[in-house]
A and B are shown apart, each in its own frame.
Chain A
Amino acid sequence: MLKLSTIDAGYGPVQALEGVSLEVAADQIVCLLGANGAGKTTTLNCISGMVPVSRGRIEFDGVDITNVRAERIVAEGVVQVPEGREIFPQMSVEDNLLLGGWLQRRKPNWRGALDRVYALFPRLSERAQQHAGTLSGGEQQMLMIGRALMARPRLMLFDEPSLGLSPVLVEQLFAIITRIHADGMPVLLVEQNARMALEVSAYGYILENGEIVHQGPAAALANDPQIQEAYLGG
């Protein structure tokens, strides 16, 4: 469904990605692992149109989305849940969610999507009128996922969703990702928490210094002693 073919990207003279190829099939969770600075976030930002691709091609559902404007990529159905607390802090939780559906706003019944998000995250519906900036870290992460769902995605990209969350919240978060995936959503997951990511994924890629160095079925990667040592803490 999503296909990256030998893409290069960089910031000025710094080459951040070199010949990265990866694929996400229509019913898969695929994870992209690697150390800090390996190029995981850059890869997602290339897909989302936030960082220019200097060589190679990105295709989604047969459509070439290489270096297309970010809003067009969202309109195609590729929606990223960014790393960190990328919310609209001085707006209500509900406005944050409604704005996630910006491109859907003229479609009939787009507010219906709001009810589905509230069903998935009852916590957000309790806090609908609160400023998003007053939410806890975990709630803000849920808000970003809800906001992405409002855009009616056909593929979701997650950038380090578990970063800074307590172990209990990480469990909950992965449960939610699995649940969204069970409803038929393909997912590309970037994570530092390699153990959890491999548990939920079908396939995995490992990025090192901007290049894919390993790939394979998630179970095989999890059992590979070399990878266990480098990424799973021995």
Chain B
Amino acid sequence: MSTIIVQAVVSGIVTGCIYALVALSLVIIFKTTDVVNFGGGEFVMVGSFLALFALVYLGVGYALALLLAAVAMFALGVTFDAVTMNRIGGRLYTRQTELVPTIVATIGLSYLLKGIVRVVPYTEEPRRIPPLFNAPPIFVGDVVIQAQDVVIVVATTLIMIGLWAFFRFTMAGRALRAISQNARAACLSGMPVRTLRMVVWGLSAGIAAVAGVLFAPKLLITPDSGTLVMFAFAAAIVGGFTSLPGCVVGGIVLGVTQNLVGVLIAPQAISVTPFFIIMVVLLLRPQGLFGDAIALKKV
């Protein structure tokens, strides 16, 4: 019994890392532009298909496919911001007062990407991407750890630390924090608000692609695999929706709880777990585990 529980925790941490990556990609956009990106799941899905196409049609190695997918998704993120969000946001670049249009735009993004992928040949059947290393699994006692699991945990940790350092120590990262706190003042201080926001959209899409490619060996990919975003939203909410470490902790809490619920209660309860966790967090600590105290925004 205890082995089963340890195994559940270990694989929960791995799944949690994927939720965390997608949550990071949502949170960096929300942090800097106040937009909740409902197309975030489709960034993940398109990213994994792009890597799959690179593997199959270009015959490149896994690492290069991952890189190509991330770069292509970066470009897609930048383009989406430039042609859609930038126009909705208006000339003042103030906090997005256009709440409904931005939400509709990201939902539109989600449907658009799903629709495009569906008409592309080769996507009608669920597909699988081989893992990065074909190394044999590692046994710790009776607990099995796949090589891919290690890759996922290491990649998530590196991306989180990288993003955290970017926001904390670089001038561009500081400027992005400044934009999130007061876009008007940032604009008047000469920061290129539009360009920096485009970079964030690019980063977000790139991270989503990495999540998609890393997770694809463990799960089949279909045009609908973007629904994974629900778990990322749950992870982000648990973490406070503005905190980068919060995403990782939230993702892992969610992944582990799901697995424990599956083992100890019933597998059917797994899919309601994220929503239950969201409810508990919102009831007990509405700002999330790492979120800033809730302050009313000046209208």
- Specify whether A and B are partners: yes
* Chain A residues with a Cβ under 8 A of chain B: 48, 50-52, 69-71, 74-75, 79-80, 82, 86-91, 95-96, 98-100, 102-103, 105, 144, 147-148, 151
Min CB distance, B186 to chain A, in Å? 7
B188, A82: Cβ atoms closer than 8 Å: yes
Min CB distance, A158 to chain B, in Å? 12
Given the contacts A52-B91, A102-B171, A71 and B185 also touching, CB distance less than 8 Å: no
A86, B184: Cβ atoms closer than 8 Å: yes
A–B pairs, 11, beta carbons within 8 Å? A70-B93, A70-B188, A71-B192, A75-B190, A82-B184, A82-B188, A86-B184, A91-B174, A91-B177, A102-B191, A151-B190
The residue from A75, A86, A89, A105 contacting B188, defined by CB atoms under 8 A apart: A86
Interface residue ranges of B67-99 to A (CB < 8 Å): 91-93
B185, A74: Cβ atoms closer than 8 Å: no
Given the contacts A88-B181, A88-B182, A90-B292, A99 and B188 also touching, CB distance less than 8 Å: no
B191, A99: Cβ atoms closer than 8 Å: yes
Given the contacts A50-B92, A91-B174, A102-B171, A74 and B189 also touching, CB distance less than 8 Å: yes
Residue of A nearest to B189 (CB): A100
Contact partners of A100 in chain B: CB under 8 A: 189
Interface 0/1 of B158-186, CB less than 8 Å to A:
00000000000001001101100110111
Number of A-B pairs whose CB atoms are under 8 Å? Answer: 77
A48, B188: Cβ atoms closer than 8 Å: yes
Residue of B nearest to A50 (CB): B92
10 closest residue pairs by CB, A with B: A74-B190, A86-B185, A103-B190, A88-B178, A88-B181, A70-B187, A71-B190, A71-B192, A100-B189, A102-B191
The residue from A50, A86, A99 contacting B174, defined by CB atoms under 8 A apart: A99
Contact partners of B171 in chain A: CB under 8 A: 98-99, 102, 105
* Chain B residues with a Cβ under 8 A of chain A: 91-93, 171, 174-175, 177-178, 181-182, 184-193, 292
Residue of A nearest to B184 (CB): A86
Other 5 A-B pairs with CB < 8 A, given A79-B189, A96-B178, A99-B186? A70-B193, A71-B187, A87-B182, A90-B292, A144-B185
A95, B174: Cβ atoms closer than 8 Å: yes
Residue in A70, A87, A98 with the greatest tally of chain B CB atoms within 10 Å: A70
The residue from A52, A71, A91 contacting B178, defined by CB atoms under 8 A apart: A91
Distance, CA A96 to CA B92, complexed state (A): 20
B185, A88: Cβ atoms closer than 8 Å: yes
Distance, CA A128 to CA B189, complexed state (A): 19
Contact partners of B184 in chain A: CB under 8 A: 50, 82, 86
Residue in A82, A102, A151 with the greatest tally of chain B CB atoms within 10 Å: A102
Distance, CA A38 to CA B6, complexed state (A): 70
Min CB distance, B227 to chain A, in Å? 34
Distance, CA A203 to CA B2, complexed state (A): 83
Residue in A48, A79, A99, A100 with the greatest tally of chain B CB atoms within 10 Å: A99
Min CB distance, B9 to chain A, in Å? 35
Min CB distance, A134 to chain B, in Å? 14
Residue of B nearest to A92 (CB): B174
Contact partners of B177 in chain A: CB under 8 A: 88, 90-91
Contact partners of A50 in chain B: CB under 8 A: 91-92, 184, 187-188
Residue of B nearest to A147 (CB): B189
Contact partners of A69 in chain B: CB under 8 A: 192
